[in-house]
Every structure is written in C-alpha cells, then in structure tokens.
Amino acid sequence: MPNMPAPVGDTRSASDSRSFDETKEAATMHKRHGWGNRLMVWRRRLWGLWLLGWLLTLGPAWTEPLPSKPDADGQNPAAKTSVAQEIAELRQVQQRVQAVVRKVTPAVVAVLINPGQGSGVVVTADGYVLTAGHVSGKPGRDVVIVFPEGKRVKGKTLGVNPQMDSGLIKLEGNGPWPHVEMGDVTQLRPGDWVVAIGHPGGYRPGRSPVVRVGRVLRIVQQLVQTDCTLVGGDSGGPLFDLEGRVVGIHSRIGGDISQNIHVPVNTYRETWEALTEGTIIGLAYLGVRGDESAEQAKILEVDPESPAAKAGLQPNDVILSCDGKKITDYRSLRSLLWQKRPGDTVRLEVLRGGERIELKVRLGSRQ
C-alpha cells in the first residue's frame, strides 16, 4: 500500500498527559487564527478525496474478504482444500488407469519380425492385430506374436499405409483371442488422460507390457501427440483412453521422448477393407490437392500431366461421389482412394459451375 498522509484531528491517546486547560488553550489559539482552522478543514477534505480515489483504483477487489489466516500448522485452509481436491482427483485417475490396465493388458502383444521387434494390440476375436506400418512392413511377412503370459502365435502381415504408418497383422490358428475395442479419436480433447502400453527396448521374457500415463497434447487429422514417454520397441503399441478403448498406435518418438506421435485409430477403420486385403495403401495416384477445412471435396490444384488432369478435372471442381459412394469432404475422398490400386479406373461425379458431370479416371502410381 502506498504511503498515506496522517489524518489531522484529535490524536490524543489514553496516555496523553496534556491537561484540560492546555487543550482549551490550544483551541483558543485556533480561534485566534481562523486561517489555521480553514487549513485543517481543507486537509481533511483532501485526505478523504485521496482515500476515495485509492479505493476506486482497487475496484471490486477491496470489497473481497481477506485471505484466511494460517491455521495451527501454519497453512492456509483454502490452499489445503485445493490440494486435497487435486489429490482426490489424481486418486480417481489412478483407479481408472488401474482398471484400464487390468482390462486391456491381455490383448497387448509383442511383435517379432526378424530382425526387428515392436508392439501391437489385438482388436478382434478372430485375431486382427493393429501395429505401426514400419513394424509390420510389406504384406506377406511371417511374424511371431507374443502374448503377456508368454504364449507365442504365428501370424502374417497384411496391408500397410506408409503415409500414415499404419499396419495390420492376422494371427494364425483358432480363436477367440483376447481383444479390445477400437475407439474414436474425434472424442479426444487436449488435456485428456491417456494410457500408453508397449514393450520399450523390445520384448523381455517374464516382463509384462510396460504402462505409462500421460495427457493428450494436440490432435490433428493425421496424428495424435501426447506426453507419454516412449522408447524404441514401443512402436506399434496401443494408446488407450480411460474407457479402455484404443485411440492410437505408437508411431514416432519426438525430439523430446515425452512428445510422441501416435497414428489415430480412425485411419485403421477407414481403410479396414484395404488393410485386410493386404493392400499397400497410398500408392494409387490421382493428382489433386483439396481444401482440408471445407465441408465438401473441393479441388484447389490439379497436377499437370496427372491422371486427374488427363481426365479433365479442374480447380474449383467439387467431387460428389466416387464409384457411387458419397464423398462428404476431401478427407473422405482421400480415404476412399487409399483403398484403390494403381491402374484402377474410378468414376467421379463432379459439380462444376452448378452442373453435374461424370468423369472416369485411371489412377496412376506414386512409385
């Protein structure tokens, strides 16, 4: 608080030793000097105006209650209440994480593909395993899947999407296999708690899949970023929400090991047919770029000499359907094209200047 002038007036205390006569004499002196009284009045007025202005600068804050006094142990009760609430919330998170781990661990597996290792998660009773594309590699490879209790099962790699780093494996033999539910990454929000499980450093006999807990940092169309600590060997392992649903697959480790990238689980669902058929997704080439933020599949650019250009597609065209399947936005167009192979011919319904036209395009190859 700034220094304030002392108020003028009767400042006598109980210990004041002046007599009544002395006080009376002082009053008489003031009467003799009227200018002195007027000065005192003006000083009081100035003091009042200064005090009022100072309170107004504080605004509503000066009417708020003062902080609670420290209690017997020297701590502020309000601060203790806040800490207690935070501890209670963390305990709730801890309990939910423990429940998730118990529920999903039987389906988290190690993926052994000579000479490499990674992680994965079983998502169907008949033995489909999600993993990272750089773990599974090209279709048709022999793999060994190791369950948490040590059971080993043979499998085969199926489709892969190199651009998204998504891959699929199929277990051999009879099920049903322990499996978990696939979630929806669009339900995640930055700050949400998530659980990362995998085999850091590679599979180790007798060690259960390792659990790490963190929060979602950001979500975009082609990745989920969290602060769950990951290292080599975790690639392909699952990221769970607190309902025990897979929302991502570990893909790339950031410059800081606590800032890592996961493949959104939605891309597996969107390309499921192509993955199960053993397709290398993303090789088919149309040759256009669209508006990712628009609510329709509007074409912004057409590559010269591309299949799209040769078929007559133009900038500002809006693609309404592909092979009879409705296209709602550019992302849905891309997802559908991911399931095609080089050399396939697709039929596009296009809106151009208010007129609907149909074009046939023979897709090229990115290789």
Same domain, 196 and 182: yes
The answer to whether residue 51 is domain-embedded is yes
Same domain, 303 and 290: yes
Q: Which two tokens stand for residue 234?
A: 């975790």
Q: How many domains does the chain have?
A: 3
DSSP letter at 79? H
Closest CA to 124 of 187, 171, 186, 184: 171
Q: Is 299 inside a domain boundary?
A: yes
pLDDT for residue 282: 83
81 falls within a domain: no
Residue where a domain terminates, one of 222, 246, 281: 281
Whether residues 307 and 297 fall in one domain? yes
In a domain, 208, yes or no: yes
Is the bond preceding 190 in cis, omega lying within 30 degrees of 0? no
Residues 275 and 188 in one domain: yes
- Rounded Cα distance between 313 and 169, Å, is 37
What's the CA gap between 249 and 268, in Å, rounded? 10
The per-residue pLDDT of the chain, averaged, comes to 82
What CATH number does residue 299 fall under? 2.30.42.10
Q: What are phi and psi of 33, to 5 degrees?
A: -120, 85
Residue that is last in its domain, among 254, 281, 308: 281
Same domain assignment for residues 260 and 338: no
Residues 328 and 340 reside in one and the same domain: yes
Answer for the pair 196, 226: CB distance below 8 angstroms, yes or no. yes
What's the one-letter identity of residue 315?
P
Measured between alpha carbons, how far is 233 from 131 in angstroms, rounded to an integer? 12
Sequence-distant (≥ 6) Cβ neighbours of residue 195 within 8 angstroms: 97, 100, 101, 104, 211, 212, 213, 228, 239, 240, 241, 242
Q: Is 189 left (phi over 0), alpha (psi -120 to 50) or beta?
A: beta
Strand partners, 30: none
Q: How many degrees, rounded to 5, is the angle at CA 166 between CA 305 and CA 101?
A: 160
Based on the fold, state whether residues 41 and 128 are members of the same structural domain: no
Q: Count CB neighbours of 245 within 10 A.
A: 19
- Confirm whether 3 is domain-assigned: no
Question: 90 in a domain, yes or no?
Answer: no
Indicate whether 243 and 324 sit together in one domain: no
* CATH code, domain with 244: 2.40.10.120
Same domain, 107 and 249: yes
Give the residue among 110, 274, 322, 327 at the shortest CA–CA distance from 198: 110
Let me know whether 273 and 261 are in one domain: yes
Predicted confidence (pLDDT) at residue 51 exceeds the cutoff of 60: no
**Closest by alpha carbon to 273, among 161, 110, 173?**
161
Long-range contacts of 210-215 (CB under 8 A, 24+ apart): 211/97, 211/101, 213/93, 213/97, 214/258, 215/190, 215/191
List pLDDT tens digits, range 80-100: 567 777 888 888 889 999 999
354 band by pLDDT with thresholds 50, 70 and 90 = very high
Task: Locate 210 and state its tokens.
Answer: 């390792």
User: Is position 9 within any domain?
Assistant: no
Domain span at 344 = 283-365
Over residues 328-337, the mean pLDDT reads 88
Whole-number Å distance between alpha carbons of 183 and 246: 5
Distance of CA 360 to the CA centre of its chain: 40
Query: In the listed set 235, 262, 281, which residue is the last one of a domain according to the structure?
Result: 281
Say how many C-beta atoms besides its own lie within 10 A of residue 156's C-beta: 16
Do the Cβ atoms of 235 and 134 come closer than 8 Å? Answer: yes
CB proximity list for 197: less than 8 A, separation 6 or greater: 101, 104, 105, 108, 119, 121, 209, 210, 211, 212, 237, 238, 240
pLDDT digits (tens, 9 = 90+) for 8-46: 333 333 333 333 343 334 344 444 444 444 444 445 544
Q: Are residues 156 and 43 in the same domain?
A: no
**Domain shared by 316 and 218, yes or no:** no
Statement: residue 106 has pLDDT above 80 = yes
Which residues belong to the active site?
134, 165, 235
What pLDDT is recorded for position 362?
A: 96
Percent of the chain with pLDDT over 70: 77
pLDDT digit string (tens) for 258-271?
679 999 999 999 89
In a domain, 27, yes or no: yes
